[in-house]
Structure 1
Amino acid sequence: MAVMQDRIANDLTQDYLADANEALSFNLVRTPQDMEDGEFFSPEMTHQVYGDGEQIFGYKDLEVRLYITAGRLNMYCDVEYSSIVKKSKSVALEPDDIVGPLTKLVPTNCILDNQDTFLALLKKESTFKPYGELISVITPHNNDANQRFEVYSCNADTPGFLEYFERLQMFTMFYVDAASYIDTSDHKWNYFIAQYYPIRAAISYEQYQSSDGNPMYAFVGFTTVYEFYGYPEHVRPRISQMLVLPPFQKKGIASGMLQAIYNKYIDDPKVLTVSGAVSSLRGFNVSVEDPSAIFGSMRLRVDCLNALTRLKVFSVEKLKKGITKEHYDEAKTKLKLNRDNTLRVFNVLLFRATDRNNKEDYKNFRLFIKNQLYAPFRRQDRELAKLEKYNLSKEEISETLAFVPKDKRPDIIHQEYLDLESKLSMIVEKLPPLSDEERKLLGR
């Protein structure tokens, strides 16, 4: 009898088990018609909402559609399924709560269960205006004249914004692994929001036209910045989170928000540096609070563009003379870059100016980079020399120091260089090509 019950339970489990990533979808609604034929997009993850297995039990052919008004972010959850698991005396099974975990992500009564109420709120979208101060307009990568994106700067003192932010940060649970909600009572946070007109949150919106030709706004993405204290009366802004919703990705919104944040802080004498990336020359592992190669590459490209357009010290003729104190000082003063980020920018722009068909020019660049890659080994040698003064045995030294033998270092450095050059090439491809004037200065 017990075996039969287990078999029945197993069959039910398989028939009534849904992949939460596939069952759940979002729809940013601008008009009632969007609920029928609008664009739906799926979460990248649901383990922070429905558990590590990312599964919902108890429903066959489950579909969970979360409709969200594009501007105000009012929500309506529609759940459909062909059948639901039923309780029985022989098998103790209950269907999972679907809507409950979603309601915990947003303010009370934010998610509606009545479509008519939702449609009534949708009519009020025409009066929605972005919170905060307009600080930037983003031109999409495809230069579509019919699309306009705007970035707004907000903080804890922006009227009505914190309640709005409590709605939009729900998306982090579906697109940012190990996400945590921001303590909005801490006034050191700034918010930057992108809108489709479609800091210190940057909020992005798309500005679009209603049926009667009036401008309306749709939420696109956001960036948060925390302002750390810098002695004696300065701040060190650090980028914490950045998210652009899937329908608006690969349009230049993220880099546009990042540039808007830079522009907000660059001319402020109280700002020491703008961070948000812990850089490492090895592997180009760059992060905000969590490692993200995509963010790192984007930030590096933006930094390089700023250096090219704003700092004469990064002109091609000065790059060829090597990195100097002037490079570090100018980058810190005018771009708020720290030393590590300045060196990374210099490496990219030097590679851009290097003629890889010229053996001597190419060799000089490789030696310049490999000298940087060798730095950890030089530190190892210094540490080894210190330990040897205490007459330690080889076994004792190996327990203290992860020493790489000198005969193995060239191969390691060579491979690291190849990996780095590949990543430098990808960045350079996204920068403007050398101009005729630059080529002339380089003697080409």
Structure 2
Amino acid sequence: MSVPDYEPNSWTCSSNEVVKISLAEPEGAFTFKPNFTYPIFGDSEQIFGYKDLKIDIAFDCESLLPLLNIKYSSKLSNDVKDVKDTLLEYLSNDTIVNDELKWIKTAEDEKFQIPGDLIHEYRVNQDFFKIRKFNLNDSIGLKLHLRMQIFVLLFIEAGSYIDSEDKSWEIYTIYKVGKDKESFVGFSTTYSYWKYPGFEKFDSDDYKPNYKKKISQFIILPPYQQKGHGKQLYECMISKWLKDEQIQDILVEDPSESFDDLRDRCDLERLSNDLELFNDLKEISIPVNNDWLIEKIKLSKMDKRQFERCLEMLLLYLVDKKKENKQFNDNIQINVKNVRLQIKRRLYIKNKDALIELESADIKDKLQTAYERLLEDYMRILDKSNINPLFGNFKRLKEGDDNESSIKRGICIYIIGKFFGSASIASSIRKSTAGSFGPELAKKLSQLIKVEKNLERSIELLARERRVVAKQLSLWGEENDDDVSDVTDKLGVLIYEIGELEDQFIDKYDLYRITLKTIRNIEASVQPSRDRKQKITDEIAHLKYKDPQSPKIPILEQELVRAEAESLVAEAQLSNITREKLKASFLYQFDALRELSEKLALIAGYGKALLELLDDSPVTPGETRPAYDGYEASKQIIVDAENALASWTLDNSYVKEPTLSLHQTVDDVYEEGQAEEAEAEWADHEEGTQS
């Protein structure tokens, strides 16, 4: 082989381009490309050492039995890592390699039966579809899961495999009904968490366990996207869980932007069918009563942030209805200003730690900017949603529609990034993170974000194992003497509570990671202005070398001036937002750490109090220990522990301010006002502001 043959570029290819996925149906095969391959081939998503490489991963449409076909014209050397071995690490163990006839025969001989209980059927045009549910106790279900989990790596950013040995997972699948066999469309993995109800309810005779459901992974394969299947699957799961009295909360793990949109539309449409909620909203007062809010969140089983977002969108919707239909004027009490104040109030209280150090004028400016961007996102979502006709047809709110103030939309023409809302920078994740051609800072920050995601998964596993430890401790103690049995039972309750706290910590810690994503997306959005400036600079240099008198040079120099001006604006905004978001992200992290640490310290204290109930004085052979009489005391310790954990807030935390050996003091770094104080401050900031 000649020296030029060792040119690295000629032996390097994009794994996103050479990998093709096929779903083999009786009528023919669907072929499509993955969104991501970096979990398999590394962050650069490149494969080195092959020429004319082609990787085809085919799946039987019903059983998802995989076939791996690899072809290439040349391989650099035997020392190059075998691409087949790399892929087989992630595919199921029954994958067939480079033998299509064997694959077809194996699929036929398998006589695969789709696992799970049928829970919903629906129709799209002339095709029928079925949604089934199974868990990993089902051997056929486990086999199907191991075959389809590769889609998680290929279509979910930072996706990873779930623990197939944990039987708390449930999997929902969609199949298209065919004449000879059914065809796989998509799936979702969900997890059930036991929700500890408190000592008294747990000990009562009529106790029934309560759970919270978490949607972890949600995939519709590309050939079936944009056809309503995601909506059918999401609504099917939510409807089933809303009817189950033992399920009290429904959560979503780190949703993508596209899933956030789907979730927003479905939740909005469902809430718009709630006549009682509609009647409440017509007469609702601003600020929204907290007791009413808690009650509605409990009934909807949604998390607080999601319900409040949907509530704000429905309020905007009702304001529009009020303007287009005069007969509703007397019935609908709210107006644009009310809704604006409600949204800004929530944003202020949520971000108070970051805003409190700013001047009043800066706070107003930040809130107005955040409000305008959030409003734009809300209107985009409302436009795509099929709200109950009871509410009337939605039309865009325009400037000047309300005589008190106007909703300003479209004023953020040059948006570098979004602070809030699900639609941040609309750019490909591939280009902004995983690819080798993205901005250098964005790539490095993406690495941090992915590592933090892995950390969260580790903590989630730790929390799960912690609960197993608690149960095992209680089971072991049950067979011992009365005192050991009672104390270990109560210790198990405290240890289980630690697992719950670690779960809650993940949710709060994730706000830190999500905020870091904003910086990454902003960095990616600024890159085009950098590229344009560099391209013009290079073109000028080339012309000056080739044709110094070219008339294009002055024109390009003028373009360069404009490009530099645009770049200066973009870089300045990037610099400002980077600092703002970096500070906000770590405030989330440190607040979450403080809460977890102090609550763990509380549990440790009550745990030591339980140990004091054990009589550990030595006894001689034949001597009998006094009868145990600590039942009431142990119960009270648990009750006190629960009350202490429930009443803990950042305001009454034990660590108020660090001791700093600096010349300047840090005042009010950790201080946060009571809810009433926050609202009063908010009123001061908003007073006189007209948007």
- The aligned residue for residue 411 of structure 1 is 365
Give the counterpart letter for 1:409 in structure 2.
I
Give, in whole Å, the separation in 1 of the partners of 2:67 and 2:306.
44
Give, in whole Å, the separation in 2 of the partners of 1:356 and 1:267.
31
Q: 254, 258, 269: which one pairs with 2:245? A: 269
Q: 165, 173, 197: which one pairs with 1:193? A: 173
Give the counterpart letter for 2:167 in structure 1.
H
Residues 268 and 387 in structure 2, CA contact (< 8 A), matched pair in contact too: no
Give, in whole Å, the separation in 2 of the partners of 1:331 and 1:319.
18
Give the counterpart letter for 1:274 in structure 2.
I
Give, in whole Å, the separation in 2 of the partners of 1:261 and 1:291.
16
Give, in whole Å, the separation in 2 of the partners of 1:356 and 1:54.
50
- The aligned residue for residue 477 of structure 2 is none
Q: If each structure's helix is expressed as a fraction of its own residues, which one has the higher value?
A: 2
Give, in whole Å, the separation in 1 of the partners of 2:80 and 2:385.
53
How many angstroms does 1:122 deviate by? Answer: 4.3
- The aligned residue for residue 259 of structure 2 is 295
- The aligned residue for residue 398 of structure 1 is none
Is 1:104–2:68 an aligned residue pair?
no
Worse overlay, 115-124 or 350-359: 350-359
Is 1:19–2:10 an aligned residue pair?
no
How many angstroms does 1:416 deviate by? Answer: 0.8
- The aligned residue for residue 575 of structure 2 is none
Residues 153 and 191 in structure 1, CA contact (< 8 A), matched pair in contact too: yes
Give, in whole Å, the separation in 1 of the partners of 2:283 and 2:383.
20
How many angstroms does 1:156 deviate by? Answer: 2.1
What percentage of residue pairs aligned between the two structures are identical? Answer: 24
- The aligned residue for residue 203 of structure 1 is none
How many angstroms does 1:28 deviate by? Answer: 0.5
Give, in whole Å, the separation in 2 of the partners of 1:377 and 1:42.
40
- The aligned residue for residue 182 of structure 1 is 162
Using the size of structure 1 for normalisation, the TM-score is 0.76
3-state secondary structure, aligned to 2:137: coil
Give the counterpart letter for 1:49 in structure 2.
I
Residues 128 and 217 in structure 1, CA contact (< 8 A), matched pair in contact too: no
Give, in whole Å, the separation in 1 of the partners of 2:392 and 2:30.
46
- The aligned residue for residue 336 of structure 1 is 301
- The aligned residue for residue 275 of structure 2 is 312
How many angstroms does 1:109 deviate by? Answer: 3.2
How many angstroms does 1:330 deviate by? Answer: 4.0
Seen in structure 2, the aligned counterparts of structure 1 residues 102 and 319 have a Cα distance that, compared at 3 Å, is: farther
Is 1:160–2:127 an aligned residue pair?
no
How many angstroms does 1:111 deviate by? Answer: 2.8
Seen in structure 2, the aligned counterparts of structure 1 residues 319 and 231 have a Cα distance that, compared at 3 Å, is: farther
- The aligned residue for residue 243 of structure 1 is 219
Residues 213 and 249 in structure 2, CA contact (< 8 A), matched pair in contact too: yes
Cα deviation per residue 1:288-336 (whole Å; 9 max; x = unaligned)?
A: 2x35222222112211222122x22321663442444445424423x32
- The aligned residue for residue 68 of structure 1 is 59
Give, in whole Å, the separation in 2 of the partners of 1:437 and 1:304.
12
Give the counterpart letter for 1:296 in structure 2.
D
Give the counterpart letter for 2:348 in structure 1.
Y
1:383-394 alignment, distance < 5 Å: none
Seen in structure 2, the aligned counterparts of structure 1 residues 108 and 332 have a Cα distance that, compared at 3 Å, is: same
How many angstroms does 1:428 deviate by? Answer: 1.2
How many angstroms does 1:8 deviate by? Answer: 3.8
How many angstroms does 1:21 deviate by? Answer: 0.8
How many angstroms does 1:228 deviate by? Answer: 1.1
Is 1:28–2:18 an aligned residue pair?
no
3-state secondary structure, aligned to 1:354: helix
- The aligned residue for residue 372 of structure 1 is 346
3-state secondary structure, aligned to 2:250: coil
Give, in whole Å, the separation in 2 of the partners of 1:412 and 1:321.
27
Seen in structure 2, the aligned counterparts of structure 1 residues 94 and 110 have a Cα distance that, compared at 3 Å, is: same
Seen in structure 2, the aligned counterparts of structure 1 residues 267 and 157 have a Cα distance that, compared at 3 Å, is: same
3-state secondary structure, aligned to 1:272: strand
- The aligned residue for residue 232 of structure 2 is 256
Seen in structure 2, the aligned counterparts of structure 1 residues 56 and 104 have a Cα distance that, compared at 3 Å, is: same
Give, in whole Å, the separation in 2 of the partners of 1:238 and 1:172.
16
3-state secondary structure, aligned to 1:275: strand
Figure out how many residues of one structure are paired with residues of the other and give that number: 370
Residues 46 and 173 in structure 1, CA contact (< 8 A), matched pair in contact too: yes
Give, in whole Å, the separation in 2 of the partners of 1:10 and 1:237.
54
Residues 25 and 66 in structure 1, CA contact (< 8 A), matched pair in contact too: yes
Give, in whole Å, the separation in 2 of the partners of 1:361 and 1:314.
17
Residues 172 and 179 in structure 1, CA contact (< 8 A), matched pair in contact too: yes
3-state secondary structure, aligned to 1:67: strand
Residues 70 and 98 in structure 2, CA contact (< 8 A), matched pair in contact too: no
Residues 66 and 94 in structure 2, CA contact (< 8 A), matched pair in contact too: no
Q: 103, 107, 114: which one pairs with 1:130? A: 114
Worse overlay, 101-110 or 419-428: 101-110
Q: 304, 318, 321: which one pairs with 2:284? A: 321
Seen in structure 2, the aligned counterparts of structure 1 residues 108 and 380 have a Cα distance that, compared at 3 Å, is: closer
Residues 16 and 37 in structure 2, CA contact (< 8 A), matched pair in contact too: yes
Cα deviation per residue 1:247-289 (whole Å; 9 max; x = unaligned)?
A: 111112222211111122112121111111xxxxxxxxxxx2x
Cα deviation per residue 1:26-57 (whole Å; 9 max; x = unaligned)?
A: 110023x73xxx33111111111122222222
Q: 66, 72, 80: which one pairs with 1:81? A: 72
How many angstroms does 1:437 deviate by? Answer: 7.2
Give, in whole Å, the separation in 1 of the partners of 2:392 and 2:101.
63
Give, in whole Å, the separation in 2 of the partners of 1:348 and 1:437.
12
3-state secondary structure, aligned to 2:191: strand
How many angstroms does 1:341 deviate by? Answer: 2.6
Seen in structure 2, the aligned counterparts of structure 1 residues 274 and 62 have a Cα distance that, compared at 3 Å, is: same
- The aligned residue for residue 57 of structure 1 is 48
Seen in structure 2, the aligned counterparts of structure 1 residues 339 and 20 have a Cα distance that, compared at 3 Å, is: closer
Give, in whole Å, the separation in 2 of the partners of 1:167 and 1:425.
40
Cα deviation per residue 1:160-190 (whole Å; 9 max; x = unaligned)?
A: 2112101100111111222221111112111
- The aligned residue for residue 201 of structure 1 is none
Give, in whole Å, the separation in 1 of the partners of 2:321 and 2:136.
51
- The aligned residue for residue 433 of structure 2 is none
Extract unaligned runs of 5+ from structure 1. Answer: 88-92, 199-206, 211-215, 277-287, 385-402, 440-444
The structure with the largest alpha-carbon Rg is 2
Give the counterpart letter for 1:83 in structure 2.
S
Residues 50 and 74 in structure 2, CA contact (< 8 A), matched pair in contact too: yes
Give, in whole Å, the separation in 2 of the partners of 1:22 and 1:436.
48
- The aligned residue for residue 361 of structure 1 is 335
3-state secondary structure, aligned to 2:249: coil
Give the counterpart letter for 1:208 in structure 2.
G
Residues 133 and 153 in structure 1, CA contact (< 8 A), matched pair in contact too: yes
Residues 321 and 392 in structure 2, CA contact (< 8 A), matched pair in contact too: no
How many angstroms does 1:358 deviate by? Answer: 4.9
Q: If each structure's strand is expressed as a fraction of its own residues, which one has the higher value?
A: 1
Extract unaligned runs of 5+ from structure 2. Answer: 198-208, 325-333, 394-691
Seen in structure 2, the aligned counterparts of structure 1 residues 113 and 410 have a Cα distance that, compared at 3 Å, is: same
Cα deviation per residue 1:2-40 (whole Å; 9 max; x = unaligned)?
A: xx99x64642x2222221111110110023x73xxx331
How many angstroms does 1:436 deviate by? Answer: 6.4
Cα deviation per residue 1:65-117 (whole Å; 9 max; x = unaligned)?
A: 112111111122222223333x4xxxxx7443121122111332323331111
3-state secondary structure, aligned to 2:211: strand
Give, in whole Å, the separation in 2 of the partners of 1:236 and 1:315.
26
Residues 77 and 112 in structure 1, CA contact (< 8 A), matched pair in contact too: yes
Give the counterpart letter for 1:132 in structure 2.
G
CA RMSD between the two structures: 2.8
Residues 272 and 388 in structure 2, CA contact (< 8 A), matched pair in contact too: no
- The aligned residue for residue 104 of structure 2 is 119
